[in-house]
Amino acid sequence: MGPLQDPSAFALDEGWLRNLQIVPERGVSQSVPMPELDPFLVAIAAIFLFAGFIKGVIGLGLPTVSVSLLAVAMPPGKALAIVIVPAIVTNISQTFVGPYLRDIVRRLWPLLVCTAIGIWLNAGALSGPAARYGTIVLGILLVIYAVTGLARVSFHVARSSERWIGSIVGLITGIISAASGVQVVPSVPYLQAIGMEKDELVQALGVFFTVATLALGFTLTRAGLVNSATALPGAVAMGSSFTGVFVGQAVRSKLPAEAFRRWFLVAMILLGLYLAGTAVYGIEHS
């Protein structure tokens, strides 16, 4: 028998090749398993798609809606850590849509500065001992925001009083935002009360929310809530929110705006009551 026909020689060659990992230890499967979808990321995508849609239709609501829905399953601080980057990016895109930026900053600087100060003063609310009450505060504020919206509570602020009233409103908004993530109370009613035109008001909302979310993002980062663990959920949230905003803007003119707004506010009342109620129950039975 020749050397090429010697079985032991073949076995030696095969073992040598296996040691070099040229011959695999096991057979190669012909099918590659599909990666499983992470239910958490799917939920993030759905929530931010909906929140972005709301923002696209009515011009605000992305942080409020997304934080409120996420707070059903996690503390507001952790929810905000996921929300903050998409909120900043979408607000920046709204800030520069329009010719009023310089006038808005000149007019609203007391509101903007005092909002940042309020967030800084209450910086530990979402990460300290009082964090367990954040969901209660969030639920109550949602109810207040929605009820005042349904009742169409409105008032007028004279131009000569804007600086001092805006400073107080900004300080209160900042303190509330640092405790709950909600930035629409009392800032939005104030902005509606100073007599801006519709397009200017939309841009002013973008400017205000950009400053508020940047200040809140800095606070969350210092508290360690924004970290590498929030990167992937944040990326999913950003992509979904932009898609939602695009769809919302595309269908805005085709929707009955008043009916949509009314049902949205009713849903916020129910969500706020649920959040506050479950949080109180959890604290009492902990």
Tell me if 237 is assigned to some domain: yes
Query: Residue 34 falls within a domain, yes or no?
Result: no
* Span between the terminal Cα atoms of the chain, in Å: 82
Is 96 part of a structural domain of the chain?
Answer: yes
Tell me the CA distances in angstroms from 43 to 75, 81, 219, 274, one per residue in order.
16, 16, 26, 19
Q: What angle do CA 203, 206, 201 make, to 5 degrees?
A: 35
Best CA proximity match to 89, nearest among 232, 189, 217: 217
Q: How far apart are CA 179 and CA 223, in angstroms?
A: 13
Give the model confidence (pLDDT) of 96-146 as tens digits. 888 999 999 999 999 999 999 999 999 888 777 777 788 888 889 889 888
In a domain? residue 20: no
Contacts of 196 (CB under 8 A, 6+ apart): 204
Quote the pLDDT of residue 154.
78
Q: Which residue has the higher pLDDT, 163 or 55?
A: 163
Question: Does residue 245 register a pLDDT over 50?
Answer: yes
Per-residue pLDDT, 170:
97
Q: What is the pLDDT of residue 211?
A: 95
Which two structure tokens, joined as six digits, stand for 152?
Answer: 């169409």
Pick the residue with more confidence: 167 or 184? 167
Does some domain include residue 28? no
pLDDT at 16: 45
pLDDT at 17: 43
Q: How many domains does the chain have?
A: 1
pLDDT, position 5: 52
Residue range of the domain that includes 161: 39-284
Q: Which of residues 35 and 241 earns the better pLDDT score?
A: 241
pLDDT at 26: 52
Contacts of 62 (CB under 8 A, 6+ apart): 48, 51, 52, 54, 55, 83, 86, 87, 90, 241, 245
* DSSP one-letter string for 225-255: -SSGGGHHHHHHHHHHHHHHHHHHHHHGGGS
Confidence at residue 210, expressed as pLDDT on a 0 to 100 scale: 93
Supply the mean pLDDT for the chain.
83
The answer to the question of residue 1 being in a domain is no
pLDDT digits (tens, 9 = 90+) for 5-17: 554 444 445 554 4
193 contacts 140 by C-beta, under 8 angstroms = no
Q: Looking at this protein, which amino acid is placed at residue 19?
A: N
The enclosing H or E element of 11 equals helix 7-19
Q: Residue range 24-28: average pLDDT? A: 51
What confidence tens digit (pLDDT) does each residue in 177-218 have? 998 888 888 998 899 899 898 889 889 988 999 999 999 999
Average pLDDT over residues 75-100: 86
Evaluate whether residue 7 is within a structural domain: no
Could you give the percent of the chain with pLDDT greater than 90?
31
- Return the amino acid letter for 186: P
Please tell me the predicted confidence (pLDDT) of residue 34: 54
pLDDT score of 35: 56
* pLDDT in the model for residue 119: 95
Cβ–Cβ under 8 Å, residues 141 and 180: yes
243 φ, ψ to 5°? Answer: -65, -45
Q: Is 131 exposed, middle or buried (0-12, 13-18, 19+ CB in 10 A)?
A: middle
> Is 165 inside any structural domain?
yes
Structure token digits, residue 205: 């909302």
Model confidence, pTM: 0.77
Sign of the C-alpha dihedral computed for residues 261, 90, 244 and 62 taken in this order: negative
Per residue in 28-77, pLDDT (tens digit) is: 555 555 556 688 899 999 999 998 888 887 777 788 888 888 888 888 88
Looking at residue 161, its pLDDT comes to 94
